[in-house]
Amino acid sequence: MRVLGIEGTAWAASAALYDTETGDVSIISDAYQPDSGGLHPREAAEHMREAIPAVVEDVLDETESVDAVAFSRGPGLGPCLRIAGTAARALALSLDVPLVGVNHMLAHAEIGRHRSGFDSPVCLNASGANAHVLAFRNGRYRVLGETMDTGIGNALDKFTRHVGWSHPGGPKIERAARDGEYIELPYVVTGMDFSFSGITSAAKETIDDGRRVEDVCFSLQETTFAMLTEVAERALSLTSSTELVLGGGVGQNARLRAMLGEMCEARGVDFFTPEDRFLRDNAGMIAVLGAKIVRAGDTIAVADSRVDAGFRPDQVPVTWHENVETQRKESPDDVVQGAEAVVEIDGERVRKRRLPKSYRHPALDERLRRERVVLEARLTSDARRQGVPTPLVRDVDTQEAQLTVEYVGDADLRAVLDSKEGENRVRAVANHLATLHGAGIVHGDPTTRNARVSSSDGDDRTYLIDFGLGHYTDDVEDHAMDLHVFEQSLAGTAEDPESLCESFEAAYAEAGDDDVRERLRAIEGRGRYQ
């Protein structure tokens, strides 16, 4: 089967031919290059209008037949998507072949899975307008973590425009960073999510204050890529996955690859990055995923092929997947390797030691480990005083970044989610978070691994543990982020996350602030993929 793919989400007008028999992928692209500044939607659409017919014609010259047409249906810029979609429809009709609409971000994830041969990896997508971590479960790719404001590529481009550099900014930052030294910039990770707007603003201000651009570029890379790597590791820990793939144009950066490679090697995880031609926006990944969809029989009628500028990857029923769940790696009962720490269980005591991370700059790593262990001890004790079941803090060692607490519970919450007691336990977490938020405390990372359940005689409590990303605030946005993180965790670990989320929110509504749930809806509806 030969599938012609058409990509037109923003920058790249691209066409490709994928031959499923030989495995060959031929890609022809014509990228929009602005004279100055960033992307101009009108100019990008004009470029797409001229370039799409040309690249499609060049690909058609290479083949005698086409069996299907696939196109990028979204997310992306509406005017560009419509031009690519119109070309795909016209071509499918003229050739009388099936038409397939492909989610652009799933194509980034699937090309890594396709080229690596992995069964069901965790996928880190790092591209211009997007940054998120995906894992397959229950027939869909679930978004385990994502940017709460701007994509990583756009964040880097905003900085380079500030210093007067032309697009694309990422490669220029990478070159300048080779001669830079580390300076402190904001580091924002909330549970499984991250934010780049604050660090971009701080980097601009640091330049305006007279710091060398090489130092700021070095620190910008070190900080933003450490954030991405930490969240990827958090997703691997949550899912116990043994495979990670990287996708998106920023994945071409050698420093990001090195960080992820070091992290995966330390965890015993297989890591794969596809060739550069499959990382930047390209029609090859559209054609490859399109072929899988055609084989699954999930083609669309021309009348139903409208594009979607805000098309999220978790909106797509994955009909083409072999339904292989994420490969899991089990740990010894007395040693648990989380994303940030190794937890050793010694009788009634638990020692949590935050390990140095070789992928992080030493100064950044030392700061994060020290700050997090001290804050975690304080938050754990304060939450306990508010009536939320938490471990009793036994000792805090700032030199070793080690916290010793009592052992609580019989199992992680994720182990009982799909049992009869799962709903009640989820409701208990909702009540605990409402209590914390009422006291001005944010947990920061309320995943199904950071709640423990007890079923011993006389003790049926649900505990909250690991306040390492928590903080004190009355900000409704941060409280809503706690709910968002927990629901994303449910989506990644439960068989029926939708009903559990309903029970979770119903319980929070009874005990918590309605403004928090309203803000949760706003968080979910943000147009980060446009």
Which positions are annotated as active-site residues? 445
How crowded is residue 490: how many other Cβ atoms within 10 Å of its Cβ? 25
Q: Which of 463, 493, 467 is nearest to 240 (CA)?
A: 493
Please, are residues 530 and 129 in contact by the beta-carbon 8 Å criterion? yes
Q: Which two tokens stand for residue 281?
A: 């926006």
Q: Which of 343, 355, 433, 345 is nearest to 388 (CA)?
A: 433
Please, are residues 372 and 468 in contact by the beta-carbon 8 Å criterion? yes
State how far Cα 285 lies from the chain centre: 19
Helices (H) and strands (E) in the chain, counts: 14, 22
Q: Which two tokens stand for residue 223?
A: 């900080």
Which class for 169: exposed (0-12), middle (13-18), buried (19 or more C-beta within 10 A)? buried
Q: How many Å apart are CA 139 and CA 323, to the nearest integer?
A: 7
The Cα-based distances of 356 to 189, 339, 344, 365, 457 in angstroms read 17, 11, 16, 7, 39
Residues 6 or more apart whose Cβ sits within 8 Å of residue 390: 380, 381, 383, 384, 408, 463, 464, 465, 467
Place of tokens 């292989």: 324
Read off the amino acid at residue 345. Answer: I
Q: Which of 142, 487, 145, 147 is nearest to 316 (CA)?
A: 142
Please, are residues 7 and 74 in contact by the beta-carbon 8 Å criterion? no
The Cα-based distances of 232 to 225, 443, 490 in angstroms read 10, 20, 17
Please, are residues 281 and 7 in contact by the beta-carbon 8 Å criterion? yes
Q: How many Å apart are CA 499 and CA 527, to the nearest integer?
A: 25
Q: Which of 191, 107, 196, 125 is nearest to 156 (CA)?
A: 196
Q: Are strands 131-137 and 122-126 parallel, antiparallel or unpaired?
A: antiparallel
**DSSP character at residue 168:** P
